Amino acid sequence: MQRHNLPLHELTATQALRLMRAGELSPVALVEALLERIAARDPVLEAWVRVDRDGAIECARAAERAWRDGTAGPLCGLPLGVKDLIFTKGLPTSANFAPFRNRDPGVDAACVARLRAAGAIVLGKVETTQFAGRDPSRTHNPWDLTRTASGSSSGSAVAVAARMVPVSIATQTGGSIIRPAAYLGIVGLSPTHGQVSREGLLPRSFSFDTVGAMARSVEDVELLFGVIAGPDRSRTSTLVPGQTELARAVLDRAPRLLMIEDFLQRVTPDTAAHFAATIEQLRGRDANVKRAPLPVPLDLLLAIHTIILFVEAGTYHSAMLPLYREHYAPGLRAQLEIGHAIPAHAYLHAQRVRARVRTRFESLLEGVDAIVVPSNPDGAPDRSTIGPHFCQVPWTLMGWPAITLPSGLSQEGLPLGIQLVGAPFAETTLFSVARWAESQIEPLPAPDTASAQSTARAM
């Protein structure tokens, strides 16, 4: 059946689906190849919490029949990983929390239900920091095992970067999609807040929690978004205004970009130089790039986000923390206790300021297709941290969609990225800008896990 030259683990989601549609790739062969890849790589990388080998093969056989019978859905036979904060029926959702280790929710989250209905195959659950907090997970970075795999979506990013799965589902509350995707040299999408249902997601902050996707191409995250976007199953409303039915948009010109100056003053000199060179490269391909400062100080945005996040996280965990205190990671436990101590008037004031700030931010998008900023201040730091989040928090605070693209390697040989930010509910325009930018930037190679392992042993 197979009539192509690429190793199966190197196929993107779009490539795999195209081959399956043409009858040139067996879903069973793809799943088996990825299971072998996981068996070979994951003992070192530790991205997977649970791999549903038998269930995945059974689903792959059903997908093979569906392609043969002409009943295949848009994602039929596509294997993916699901962050272990998102409910999956028959697979425990543990949130990296020992008391939840074997807790089967008995139901799929809305996004997982949509993926399964489209024919996707849940290969298993991938690691998260505990309850999406900032205490690092056990997962290793395949570019350099001494560096962080970041978080909170550490397993989602590593599973895709290490070619153990073509796509994965992740979440962002501060920078938990954009940051790890950029550190790992892949594409990450954090959609407009509310575009994808959070039904069946263990919450961290209801004001910010966003379900998104990671892949190795813009086309792939766009494909997944088109399936998972939509309201809760309990609601009967149609698509929210502005979604334009997720139609594919194509720019008939080079994009108009706005570069925010504040971030270049806070990233490392190496990252600033790399980012400036990338912008000049895009400008040389006729992109119209303007510069502007943030309408309010970055530190104010970070403070607003912190207050709201801590209070909402503390509220969710208020009943569990006294019962399971010893099972909480120390950093998360401290955040929850601080959240309990923040008075209600401070939380309400932070929400009011947030609303005012969002109004002032709207002017940034006038006359431009997307905002462009560095994805991270540098390549991945050491494993004691998941990395700073100031490059992502402003857009999470606004609830605006963002996508990160790999843009090259740092002087230390670690991935760097550019982050494109769009108007709320305008993912179609953001995807068109991202596809254009992706076509202008040389793609990164796959990380060499064997080399990273040797380097780690030598240190």
- Active site residue ranges: 83, 152, 176
Matching residue, tokens 């060179």? 277
Q: What share of the chain is helix, strand, coil (3-state, %, to 5)?
A: 45, 15, 40
**Residue 296 in contact with residue 328, Cβ under 8 Å?**
no
Residue pair 432/119 in contact by the 8 Å Cβ criterion: no
Comparing CA positions, the residue from 191, 81, 176 lying closest to residue 129 is 176
CA-to-CA dists, residue 52 to 19, 139, 270, 273, 415, angstroms: 24, 19, 42, 44, 30
What is the Cα–Cα distance from 226 to 71, expressed in whole angstroms? 19
27 three-state secondary structure: helix
Does residue 264 contact residue 275 with C-beta atoms inside 8 Å?
Answer: yes
Q: What DSSP string describes 33-92?
A: HHHHHHHHHHHHH--EEEE-HHHHHHHHHHHHHHHHHT---TTTT-EEEEETTB-BTTB-
Show Cβ contacts of residue 72 under 8 Å, excluding neighbours closer than 6 positions.
20, 21, 63, 66, 119
Query: Which amino acid, 55?
Result: G
To which residue do tokens 């490269």 refer? 281
Whether omega before 152 lies within 30 degrees of 0, making that bond cis, reads yes
CA separation for the pair 239, 236 (Å, rounded)? 10
